Each structure stands twice: as C-alpha cells, then as structure tokens.
Amino acid sequence: MDVDKLPAGPHAVPPGEGRSPSTAVPVIVATNVSKTYGRTHALAGTNLTVHAGEVLGLVGHNGAGKSTLMRVLAGLEGCDEGAVTVLGREVPAGTRPREQDFRGVRMAYQETSLCPDLTVAENIWLSSRRGLPRLRWRRAAAEAVRLRLDEIFPGHGISPRDRVEDLSIAQRQMAEIARASLASPLNLLILDEPTESLGPDAAQSLYAYVRTVTARGGSVLLISHRIREVLSVADRVAVMRDGSVVEDLPAHGLGEDDVLLLMGAETAVRGATGANPPAAPRNAPRADTPVVAELRGATGAGLNGVGLRIGKGEVVGLAGLAGQGQQQVLERLWRPVRRDTVVHGTRAYVPGDRQRSGVLPLWTVAENLTISAMRTIARHGIRRPVHETAVAGDWVRRLSIRGGADAAMADLSGGNQQKVIVARAFASAADMVLLDDPFRGVDIHTKTDLYGLIRAEAAQGRSVVWYSSENAEMAHCDRVYVFRAGKVVAELVGPEISEERIIAVSFAEGDQPPPAAALASVPTEPTSTRSVAAPAAAGNSAGEHRHD
C-alpha cells in the first residue's frame, strides 16, 4: 500500500485537517445506546468505540441493528437511552442531535443520498457547502469532487456536470462515496455496503482510499455483508446481534466462518457460505425434460445473441458479474414481447428491490401474500376469501413469517418482507418463477429457508429462473448460465457449478475490465497481491482465505 503516491486532496476541502490532535480521544463512543421504534427494540444498550486512524468493520444480520446504530452515530437520530460522544463532546439521550456536533462524521449510504435530478456538483454543494465559497460555488464544488473522485476511483468517467440520474449505478455509488468523504475535517467516514454495486477494481481502489483516510488520521466504519472484504480491510471487527454489539475483536487471525458463527449462524454456515456443496440434491438434467421457456439468439436491449432453455422443474441460474444482461433475460421472460423469446405457461416474478417493486405498504401480510394467487383463486372476478386465507395461513406457517398473516406488512423486518414476496410468487399458480436477485441483504436463516423452498417447489415441477449476484447461491441450481457483456459465456451443469468456476468464466476473456465502473488504470487480475484489498476485491471469490 503506497499511500504517498496517491494524489493530495482538493484545496477547497483540505483533508489533512482531519488529523486528530490526540489519539487518546476516540472519534466516537456510543455508550449504552438504546433505541425503540414502536414495539421493536432496534438497539438495546449498545456500546461501540471508534478510535482515530482505525478501520472498524461492523457486521451482523439484517435486523441486528446495524442501520439504526449508524443513523445514531451519524447524528440522524437521537437515541432513547445512553449517550453518543463525538470527539469528547457528549450528546445526551432524548435530544434531537444537533448538526454541528456531528460535522466531522460523514456517511455514504447504500441507497445513496444523492438527488437524481441535480448535477454531481450541485449534490456536492448540498452536503459539503460549508467548505465551499459563497460565490462561484459551482466551480469550486466541481473541482473538489473531480479531485476526490480521481483520488478514490481513478478513471471513474464521471463529470461533475453530469446529472446523477444519467450515471450508472456504480458511478452513483462512487459519487456518493466521494460526497461523503468531502468534509473538513473528516473524522469518521461511515461506509454502508459500499461495494454492493461496485465492480472489483473500484472496490479495490476504494479500500486503498480507506487506508489513505486512516493514514491521514481519520477513521472509517465499514458495514458490509461481504465478510471477507471486512476482514481484509478492517483493523477491528464488531459483530452485532439483536440490537447490541456482542463481540469486538481484532480482525487479524479471524476467519469468515468465525465471524458467521459470532453472528449467530451456527447451523447455516456450511450451506450458506458455499464453501461446501449445498445440502439440497441436484436433479440430473435429463434430455427429455419438456421446455418451458426458450430464448433463441435474443438480441437488443442489453442482450447480444443470448440463447437459453428452461426445462420443467429445473432451477436455472443466471450468474456472472452484475449488469451483464441477466436482468434483461428475466425481463424478456416476464414480458415475452419479442419473437426471439418463447414462453409456455404462466410466470411469477420476485423483485430484488422489495421496497420499490415488492411491498404493498398499506396491506397486511396475508393481503400482500395472496395478491398474485387471488386471480386464480377467484371465480368470475369474485374473490374467495376463505380460500385466500387458507393459502396465506399455509405459507405463513411454511416460511415461519414472523407476526403472522394479520401483521401489517410495513411493520415487518426486511427479511420477513422478502419471505412474503417470495411466497407471493410461489403461492400463485405460475409454472415458472423468476427471481431477480431477491436475497441480497437477507439474513442467512431466511436464505436457508428460501433455498429449501426453491428446491422443494422445483421438485414438484415448477421451473425457477434465478439471477443472483452472490455466486455461492448458484450452487442451488441445476444449471447455470454465466453472462458477460450481454452474452452467455458458459453453461455449467450439475457438479460443474462452483463459485470458483463461475468466477473463472466471468473473467474468462480477461483483457478488458467488464463493468463500466472498472477502469484501465488499475490491474484487473483478481490474483494481484500488490494491494491489501486484493482478496476483498474478488468479492465473493472463494479464492484466498487470508488466514490459511
């Protein structure tokens, strides 16, 4: 890690100011912090300390309280009990946090907090206006963000005058991280799932920048589901469970399985990490399986001559790096309007973005669950409530959805909401179920339940088409198509399916970096050992375990 060779920060917002005068004072201390929403105890007496110049990794299941803790640490919300101390100044419980107390604490949000209709520079003004002049602010903001983006993500391809809505998802994430990092002083940078939509190269350069921040005296709080990344970057790892930090350990010498165990995944670890073959049996694909859907040389709208075939009762995976055409295939299968797509039978769709395309917020679990099935249950357009209730009750039991059928959908945790939306699709009479990366950010227990469900449903003759950004999940498929640049580059069947294999073929053509985010100035081979962040950059790769 060669920090000195990195370009210096922009003049408008000098980063050097962040160097903490005394390492004795922690950047932020959360003492016995509790926070309750309605009946949910989001935080139950949590303690957390971030020291100056360190990278702290924060891991935990969905609903463990990570996001609430971050909101409290970033000063977005006050806590009910306990106190947060920022650079020695205490912010007591029960009060609305004042903005000036949290000025040096910055957070890059997973879903980004950029305004899509504004330019990148205007967004920078919004959040970093204090470091900018009153006059000619536009130019100063553009200059600052350009320098910072060049520093973190060389070759990002973002112009400060671009509107955020015109950027790719990876570019938006880069702009969001740059936005958060532009502060003076930058005492604590909170990164919430920063690499979720970044390519491996961008992730690598981000983690290099994280080291720069700490070298300058700032601290970084890294929240990620990618435990391997956390372990390779963080100095310390804090594990959250049920609203409090249960473990706080040095990252050195810690393995992924150890962390998963600490998170409470005793039984699920083996199946979910993909280190071992899945428990679910694989159907040997037979030649005589009737074909339910077929794409023949599908071209256009992000696809480039894709041919694939879905058999009855088959679980077909769409793998590869994010954004290589997998979602376009699902779209074709969902709405087969072009002639290159032939689909027999009915379909159901499980969206990945549940808040935007899944949840019906005013309704109960039962109502959310049966909305797709309703139309087949009904006779002549008249609903049959008794049958619907039975279906809902059945699925609530089968997936053990917490709160029961009568709970309000909006009150459920993300994982349970996702269960309802998956159940919605499987409760319908559809012959084929399309999964659009639905298990991202879902905790391991829920995932294990849902993997079992998918296998059970396939055994009963349902076809499943499954796009996932987590290559480990592909182990539950009968057949996997690996995508690259809108093409199928490999078809893996049965025992051929493995994370290593998928990763290998995803990068097969190797010379050019595949996603728009990844750019030429950084070497692309995932095996590079030049950087600390190299294993992390491989993301889901089962490549190197740093403790072996």
Name the site residues for another protein (rule: CB under 8 A): 76, 99, 109, 113-118, 122-123, 125-127, 129, 137-138, 155, 157-159, 161-163, 165-166, 347-349, 351, 355-364, 367, 371-372, 374-375, 378, 381-383, 385, 406, 408, 410, 424, 428, 430, 519-520
Least separation, in Å, of the C-beta of 120 and another protein?
11
Strand partners, 40: 37
Give the contacts of 46 (CB within 8 A, at least 6 positions apart).
30, 32, 33, 34, 65, 69, 82, 240, 243, 244, 245
Q: Which is nearer to another protein, 47 or 304 (CB)?
A: 304
Terminal Cα distance for the chain, rounded: 21
- 194-224 in b/e form (b: 16+ CB < 10 A) is bbbbbbbbbbbbbbbbbbbbbebbbbbbbbb
Q: Which is nearer to another protein, 49 or 127 (CB)?
A: 127
Least separation, in Å, of the C-beta of 150 and another protein?
13
Strands 291-300 and 303-311: antiparallel
Q: Are 88 and 25 in contact (CB under 8 A)?
A: yes
Q: Which is nearer to another protein, 434 or 480 (CB)?
A: 434
Q: Which is nearer to another protein, 177 or 245 (CB)?
A: 177
Least separation, in Å, of the C-beta of 443 and another protein?
20
Give the contacts of 379 (CB within 8 A, at least 6 positions apart).
none
Q: Are 175 and 164 in contact (CB under 8 A)?
A: yes
Q: Which is nearer to another protein, 114 or 208 (CB)?
A: 114
Least separation, in Å, of the C-beta of 274 and another protein?
28
Residue 413's Cβ-count burial label (10 Å; 0-12, 13-18, 19+) is: middle
> CA dist 30 to 36, 70, 74, 90, 94, Å?
16, 11, 11, 10, 14
| Rounded Cα–Cα distance for residues 344 and 347 (Å) | 9
Least separation, in Å, of the C-beta of 464 and another protein?
16
Q: Which is nearer to another protein, 171 or 448 (CB)?
A: 171
Q: Which is nearer to another protein, 49 or 304 (CB)?
A: 304
> CA dist 230 to 59, 172, 189, 193, 489, Å?
8, 22, 15, 10, 30
Least separation, in Å, of the C-beta of 375 and another protein?
5
Tokens of residue 40, six digits: 């949910």
Q: Which is nearer to another protein, 202 or 374 (CB)?
A: 374
| Rounded Cα–Cα distance for residues 194 and 216 (Å) | 20
Q: Are 491 and 483 in contact (CB under 8 A)?
A: no
Backbone angles phi, psi at 522, to 5 degrees: -110, 135
Q: Which is nearer to another protein, 262 or 377 (CB)?
A: 377
Least separation, in Å, of the C-beta of 451 and another protein?
21
Least separation, in Å, of the C-beta of 98 and another protein?
10
Q: Which is nearer to another protein, 81 or 101 (CB)?
A: 101
| Rounded Cα–Cα distance for residues 81 and 5 (Å) | 45
Least separation, in Å, of the C-beta of 351 and another protein?
5
Give residue 28's Cα distance to chain centre.
25
Least separation, in Å, of the C-beta of 57 and another protein?
23
Least separation, in Å, of the C-beta of 348 and another protein?
6
Strand partners, 481: 318, 491
Q: Which is nearer to another protein, 130 or 252 (CB)?
A: 130
Least separation, in Å, of the C-beta of 117 and another protein?
3
DSSP state string for 457-515 = HHHTT-EEEEE-S-GGGGGG-SEEEEEETTEEEEEEEGGG--HHHHHHHHTTT-SS-SS
Strand partners, 4: none
Q: Which is nearer to another protein, 162 or 235 (CB)?
A: 162
Residue 94's Cβ-count burial label (10 Å; 0-12, 13-18, 19+) is: exposed
Classify 324 as helix, strand or coil: coil
Least separation, in Å, of the C-beta of 306 and another protein?
20
Tokens of residue 166, six digits: 């015109």
| Rounded Cα–Cα distance for residues 207 and 522 (Å) | 13
Q: Which is nearer to another protein, 259 or 421 (CB)?
A: 421
Tally of residues, the chain: 548
Strand partners, 343: 293
